[in-house]
A = this chain, B = another copy of it.
């Protein structure tokens, strides 16, 4: 049985070289407008090399997308598991995202604006698996805070939009050049807003109102 003990050293470098070139091109002119030849020139490699590693232009786009999501998710989990209170955890979801987007402009812009990417069935499933696993971890982390009344009980599918929706929308506008202040600069506002919308009704306020 042949064992591929070590991937050839140059391979990983070549792949990330192509991915970096692709991200750069996608950022400059958009996915559709970048040609394979653009990427080839920017990565200083041949067409054959690109197709050997990724199979298609869509393969590059998919791998870039999934790898980006995984990096973002991993960074969140690292910071989240250090939190001891519901308030700190909710606010960390917002501030971590703000900082990450500010530090990784190009990749963040790619992730935010490539939602309708036509991906292969395998890539879609891969992405779903990654997302499901991440969401499960996050929900397991937050479950106790909902259980003990520190956070509101809401329909499950509304938690993520309520907490992350605003800062994501802000980030999208900032990345499009429409806002001047970086997400990192205004993160406190969004962290506060998220916590306002999410904290348990501990005060004398009414809990609910007829819609």
Chain A interface residues toward B at CB < 8 A: 29-33, 91, 95, 112-118, 154-155, 157-158, 160-162, 164-170, 172-173, 176, 179, 181, 186-194, 196-198, 208-209, 211
Contacts and interface: CB of A to CB of B under 8 A. Distances in A.
B157 A30 contact: no
13 contacts: A114-B116, A115-B176, A154-B189, A157-B179, A157-B181, A158-B190, A161-B166, A162-B190, A165-B167, A165-B169, A187-B211, A191-B211, A197-B197
Nearest to A188: B211
Contacts of A179: 157
Copies in the complex: 2
Top 8 nearest A-B pairs (CB, nearest first) are A165-B165, A113-B116, A188-B211, A165-B166, A165-B169, A161-B169, A193-B197, A161-B170
A170 B165 contact: yes
Contacts of A173: 157, 161
Contacts of A30: 116-118
B116 A31 contact: yes
